[in-house]
Structure 1
C-alpha cells in the first residue's frame, strides 16, 4: 500500500507538466532511416550529422556537451565586446569585466612587454639558496595559483561536512596524468617528446641557449617523472576513504622535515593544527626529493613551471609555443581567436561577475521555474524506483529516501553573487589583472578555513555548459549554461525535455548513489548508512557496470576504462531509467500521439541521443579515454540504452540487433 500512495503522490505532482499542445513542435531531423535503431542508436540519430559536420580548426571537437562551450564563449564575447566599449562606473561589475577583457585584447601592449611580467618571478627563483627559501617561494606563488609542488585548498571536511578544513593533494607534473610518464606506446612517447620540446622552447624564449634549454628540459622531465611515480592512478583516486588522511601538523612536521609544514602553512596564511593529506605517498616522495635533488635543479624546475603557468598570458611567442604542445595533445588545428580566449579568461577569473551579465540577457525566470519542476518530478520518480528495488532491504531504502529528500537543488545561478570589490582591474595591465583576481580568489577561499560551510556557494560559473553533484553538500547544480537546447528548451514538449535535461537530472541525482556518492550520508559526511548485505549486493552491481563498459572499444584497440568511468556510467544507466519513469507520469508520457512521425517514447530516446551528439579529433579522443571519467559520447548513448528495456520496446529492438542484450544481462542498479 505504501508504494501505491507514493506513486499516486508522484503522479499528481508530475502530471501538472505542460502538454505538447502548449508548446512548439520541435522537429526531429537528420535520422538515418537506412539503419536499424537497435544496431547503433547513436549513428541512427546522429550519423548523418557526424559524417558531414566539420570540426572548427580552432576546436578539438564539435557538437553538444562540453563543445557547446564554444558557441557559449561567442555569446560571452558579444557581451564583453559591448560592455568593454561602455562608460562603466569605476569599481562596477561592468568596469571590471569590461576592462579585464579589454586588457587581454590589447595584444600590442602584451607583445611589447614580452616576458617582462614574469621576470620578477624568475629572479626570485634564481635567488633561492636552500630548501626553506625554496618552500617559501612555493607558498608565495601558491597564493596566486602558480601551483608547483604543493596543491593546497580549503573545502569541507569529508567526515564533518559542516566545517571547512585545509587539504593538500598530489601535484607537480606537467603532463595530464602520471601514466603518461610510464607508457611506451608510440602515441604517448610522441607526447612525452613534445612536452620536452615545449619546455626547452620556453627556456629559449627566456634567454637560454638551445643547448642549455634542452638540458634544462631533461632535468624538469626527470623531476616530473619521479613525482609522477608517487601519484595514485585515476582509479585509485576514486577510493574515498584512501584519499582522506587528516593528520596533525605537528606529526607532519616530524615526518616531513624538508617540507616544513608549520612554516609552509604559516606562509600560506593557513592557521590550522591539522590538514587532510589526500595522497600521503606524494608528500613522502616530495620530502625525500627535496633533499636528494640539487637545489639548482629545483630552480630549473620551478622556472619551467612558472613560465608554463603564464605562457598563454604573455607575448605571442609564448602563446604560440604553448599551442604547439596543445596541438599534439588534442589535435586542435589552429589557435582559438583572441576574443574566444579572453571570454574564457574573464569567465575563469571573474566568472560570477560575467555570469550576472549573462543571466540577465540569456536566462529568463520562467525557464528556471520549469527547470525546478523537472528536477522535483525526477526526484519524486526516483523515490518510487527506490521503493521498487528488489535487492535492497527496507531499512536501507528508508535511508536512501531520506538522503534523496534533502538534496539541495541549485538552478541557473547563485542566490548571492561573489564579491569582487578587492580585485583591481585596469585596461592596460592584463597580467597584473589576472594576478589580482587570483590573489583575491585565494584569500576568499582561505577565509573559509575553520569556518562553517556556506551551502549557497557554487563551484562553476553560471554560463558553463555543465552540471554537477557535490556529495559533501548533498547537492545537484544546473547552471544556466546547460539550460538551452538540446538539453533544455522551454518551448519544447515534455518528451524532449525529459530525454534531454531530465536524463541529466537523473544522472546527477544518481551520483548521490554511485560508487563514491553512496559512501556519503544525507548530511554530506563519509558515513556508512547501508546494511552489510545491501552494500555487498550494491558492489556486485557496480562490478557489472565496470565489466560491461570495459568491453567497449573506442579507437583501434583502445577500450573504455570501466573502473575509471564506473561512476559516470552508473549515473547514465540510472539517469535514463528515472527520467523515463518521470516522463511516463506526464500527460504526454501516457499518450501515444505521434509528433513529427515519432511516438512520445521514441522522441524521449531520440532526445537522449541528441544531447550527446559530439564529434572529436582522434587525438582528443585518446586524451579523453586516458583522463576523462565519462565514457565517450557514443557510449553515453548506446551503453545505457542497451540496459533500458523501454528503449527495446519503443524501437522494436530484438535479438538480431547488435545492441540487444538478453533481459537477464541488462543492468539495473537504481
Structure 2
C-alpha cells in the first residue's frame, strides 16, 4: 500500500449472510457486473414497519441499520461507484485522478532549481528525477545489457549459469527465483534473521494460477518468445523456446506450498537451516547459492529459515544440464524484460513493452524515483505531515486505548487472576512506533547518482542488498519502524510493538482537530485491532518480551482461550459472500479476533448514544469498498482478513453497545441471539 490514502486494501463489498437462525441478511443485486451488493429490507419484513426514525432511512435503498449496517452507511457511496478499467476493486480512498502526496513531493523537488546539499534526500530525488526525465541510452546500456545476455546464453553448465544469475541479481537488479529476505526472527523477535521465501511467480504469472490452470502458462511463454525474437530468432523458434521454458514453471508450481508463507504455525515450526545444509539441498550445483546471491551473508549469520523446502528440492532436481537451455530461456527472458526500460529504442518489441509518453513523462519519472528512493521520500513526507499536533493526538489516543484494554482485561473474570496479570504485563509493555527516524546524511551517497539513469540503477540496486546484509548483522531495535511513513498501514509485531504509519493517520481516518468519536471509529479501531493482535490465537503464544513461548500462560487458561477461538471460527464460518461462498473461519481467526477486540475496546471508551453512533458510522465508512466477484471469491481462499462487509456487520452484530444503541430485535438482519454472540473479552 504505497499511496497515502489511495491504496487501502479495502476491496470488497459483497452480499453477506449468516446461516445461523435469526442472522439472515437479504440482498438485491444492482445492474453492475461487480459485487456492489447491498442488503435491503425484504418486502413484508417485520422490521420495516417498526417505526424506524427518519434519520435511520437516509439511503436511496432505504436500508435500515438494524438489517445491514454496512449497507445503511455506505449505500449512497457505492451505488454509483465504478471500478476503474483494469482494476479488481476500488474504495472511497482510491481516486486515480489525484496525485498522491508522495508524487507531489517528487515532482516538486525534481522540478526545483534549488541546489541541494550532496547526499541529502532532496539531492538524490532531484538528480534521479532529472535523469529519468531526460534519459536516452547512448548505446552504453545496450552494449552492457546485451553482453550480459550473451553471458547467460553462453553458460557452459548449470553451475556457471547460476553464478551469472547471482551476479545479475546482486549487481544489476535482475529478478530472481530466490527471495532472500532479512527481517525479525519469528521465533525470537529480539534478533534479525534471513528467510528464503518461496518463488511465487514465473515471468510475471503467479505459480498458483499456473498450478490451477495450465492455460496461464501462455503469458510467460509469450514474453519469452518476444524476448528471443529480440535476439534474432524467428517467431516459431522463439515460441518453441518459450514453450519448453514453461515446463520448468509447471514443475515448480506443482511442488509449491502456497499456504506456508502465510501460515504463522508453519513459520514458527521452522528450524534454522545452516548455510552448509542449505548448500547441500542444492546438491546439483558446484557453487554456493548463498555466496553467489547473498554476497558475504555467511560472515554475518549462521544460517537461514527455508520456508518451502519442498520447492527448493524440486528446483534442485531441475538444476540439470538437460534443463540448461530451459533455465537459460527463463533467466534471459526475466533479465532482458526487466532491463528493457533502459533500451526501448533498441527494438520495436521492447518499445512496445516500455512505451514512452511525452504527456506522462512527469508521472513516469516520479514513478522511477519512488521505485528507487521510497525511503528518502518517506522521510520528507514525515517532515511535512507528521506535525507535533498529530504526534500528540496519536499518542493520546494510544494511551486511551491501552487504558480501555486494561479495563477489559481486568473485568475478564473467566480468566484466572494470574493470567489477567500476565496479560496486563504484556499490554503495558506494548510500544507505539510512528515515523521512522531519519537516517544520517552521508555526502558520499551523492555518488549513488551515476552518469546515467542506468548507472544509477546499478548503484542503488547494490545499496539495497548492502543495507539488507548490514541489518542481518545488527542488533534488533524493537523501536525501529518496519514500514515507510508513506505506507497506508498499521501492524503489530511479536516484539510487542505496533507501528502506525503517518499516512494512515491522515483524514478521514484521523484528524487531531476532528470529532473524537469519529476518530475512534476510524483510526481508533485500527489501533485497537493491532493491539488486539497481541492476544490473538497466534501472538498469544509470544511472551511480553517477544519470544515464542506458548508456556508463558497457564495451560488451563490457554485451553479456555483456544475454546473461545474455536467458537469464533464457527461464528465466522457461517457468513457467506453472494450467499454461496463461506468465509474460512479458521484462516481468518486471528484477524477476526483483532477486529472484534478493537471494536470492543473503543466502544468501551464511550457511553453516549449519539457519540457511539458516530463511532459506528465511522467504522463502517472505513471499510466502504467495491470488488469484482472473481476477486472476492479468490480472496476467501488466501486472505487472512474477512471480506470488508463482514468485518463490519459480523463484528457489530455481536457488540453489546451496538445492539443497545440501534435497539436490535429478533427478526432484524443484524440480530444474533445473545447466546450465539462472540466476544473477545
Give TM-score, length-normalised by structure 2: 0.80
Matched residue, 1:394: 417
| 8 Å contact from structure 2 (residues 479, 497) kept in 1 | no
Matched residue, 2:507: 485
1:518 and 1:370 mapped to 2: Cα distance?
29
How far residue 198 of structure 1 moved from its aligned partner, in angstroms, is 4.5
- The 1:203/1:505 distance shift into structure 2, 3 A limit, reads farther
Matched residue, 2:154: 127
Query: Which one of 243, 262, 275 corresponds to residue 304 of structure 2?
Result: 275
Determine whether 1:527 maps to 2:549.
yes
Once the two structures are overlaid, the 10-residue window that deviates more, 286-295 or 377-386, is 286-295
Matched residue, 1:5: none
1:116 and 1:467 mapped to 2: Cα distance?
45
Determine whether 1:81 maps to 2:89.
no
SS in 1 for 2:512: coil
How far residue 468 of structure 1 moved from its aligned partner, in angstroms, is 1.5
Matched residue, 2:666: 655
Once the two structures are overlaid, the 10-residue window that deviates more, 425-434 or 347-356, is 425-434
Provide, for residues 147-198 of structure 1, a one-character-per-residue CA deviation record: whole Å limited to 9, x for no partner.
42322122333334333233222115326654323325xxxx6655445444
Query: Which one of 219, 232, 242 corresponds to residue 244 of structure 2?
Result: 219
SS in 2 for 1:652: coil
Q: How do 1:43-82 and structure 2 match up within 5 A?
A: 43-57=71-85, 60-64=88-92, 67=94, 73-82=99-108
Matched residue, 1:329: none
Provide, for residues 248-272 of structure 1, a one-character-per-residue CA deviation record: whole Å limited to 9, x for no partner.
2333344432356756336622123
Matched residue, 2:612: 601
Determine whether 1:250 maps to 2:261.
no
Matched residue, 2:129: 101
2:677 and 2:504 mapped to 1: Cα distance?
30
Structure 2: runs of 5+ lacking an equivalent: 1-54
Matched residue, 2:489: 466
SS in 1 for 2:201: coil
- The 1:241/1:564 distance shift into structure 2, 3 A limit, reads closer
How far residue 478 of structure 1 moved from its aligned partner, in angstroms, is 1.0
Determine whether 1:209 maps to 2:238.
no
Query: Which one of 31, 34, 50 corresponds to residue 62 of structure 2?
Result: 34
Matched residue, 1:572: 595
How far residue 419 of structure 1 moved from its aligned partner, in angstroms, is 5.6
Alignment root-mean-square deviation, CA = 3.4
SS in 2 for 1:357: helix
Determine whether 1:153 maps to 2:181.
yes
1:165 and 1:236 mapped to 2: Cα distance?
15
- The 1:250/1:171 distance shift into structure 2, 3 A limit, reads same
SS in 1 for 2:136: helix
1:73 and 1:414 mapped to 2: Cα distance?
23
How far residue 247 of structure 1 moved from its aligned partner, in angstroms, is 2.1
| 8 Å contact from structure 1 (residues 39, 659) kept in 2 | yes
Matched residue, 1:296: 325
2:138 and 2:579 mapped to 1: Cα distance?
43
Matched residue, 2:452: 429
Structure 1: runs of 5+ lacking an equivalent: 1-26, 324-333, 585-589, 593-598
| 8 Å contact from structure 1 (residues 142, 150) kept in 2 | no
How far residue 493 of structure 1 moved from its aligned partner, in angstroms, is 1.1
1:342 and 1:664 mapped to 2: Cα distance?
58
Matched residue, 2:27: none
- The 1:32/1:105 distance shift into structure 2, 3 A limit, reads farther
SS in 2 for 1:161: coil
Matched residue, 2:264: 239
| 8 Å contact from structure 1 (residues 114, 315) kept in 2 | no
1:498 and 1:456 mapped to 2: Cα distance?
24
Q: How do 1:637-648 and structure 2 match up within 5 A?
A: 637-648=648-659
| 8 Å contact from structure 2 (residues 487, 501) kept in 1 | yes
Provide, for residues 514-562 of structure 1, a one-character-per-residue CA deviation record: whole Å limited to 9, x for no partner.
2322222222222222222322332333333333434433358544443
SS in 2 for 1:656: coil
SS in 1 for 2:588: helix
How far residue 51 of structure 1 moved from its aligned partner, in angstroms, is 1.3
How far residue 140 of structure 1 moved from its aligned partner, in angstroms, is 2.5
Matched residue, 1:15: none
1:441 and 1:449 mapped to 2: Cα distance?
13
Determine whether 1:380 maps to 2:403.
yes
- The 1:247/1:353 distance shift into structure 2, 3 A limit, reads same
- The 1:179/1:146 distance shift into structure 2, 3 A limit, reads same
| 8 Å contact from structure 1 (residues 158, 524) kept in 2 | no
SS in 2 for 1:294: helix
| 8 Å contact from structure 1 (residues 100, 427) kept in 2 | no
Aligned residue-pair number? 612
- The 1:318/1:655 distance shift into structure 2, 3 A limit, reads farther
1:501 and 1:446 mapped to 2: Cα distance?
35
SS in 2 for 1:153: strand
2:381 and 2:592 mapped to 1: Cα distance?
32
How far residue 611 of structure 1 moved from its aligned partner, in angstroms, is 1.0
How far residue 50 of structure 1 moved from its aligned partner, in angstroms, is 0.6
SS in 2 for 1:568: helix
Once the two structures are overlaid, the 10-residue window that deviates more, 48-57 or 619-628, is 619-628
How far residue 293 of structure 1 moved from its aligned partner, in angstroms, is 5.3
2:286 and 2:414 mapped to 1: Cα distance?
51
Give TM-score, length-normalised by structure 1: 0.82
How far residue 275 of structure 1 moved from its aligned partner, in angstroms, is 2.2
Matched residue, 1:264: 290
1:96 and 1:207 mapped to 2: Cα distance?
38
Query: Which one of 671, 674, 679 corresponds to residue 668 of structure 1?
Result: 679
| 8 Å contact from structure 1 (residues 200, 216) kept in 2 | yes
How far residue 379 of structure 1 moved from its aligned partner, in angstroms, is 1.5
Matched residue, 2:521: 499
- The 1:267/1:361 distance shift into structure 2, 3 A limit, reads closer
Matched residue, 2:41: none
- The 1:263/1:199 distance shift into structure 2, 3 A limit, reads closer
Once the two structures are overlaid, the 10-residue window that deviates more, 162-171 or 477-486, is 162-171
Matched residue, 1:286: 315
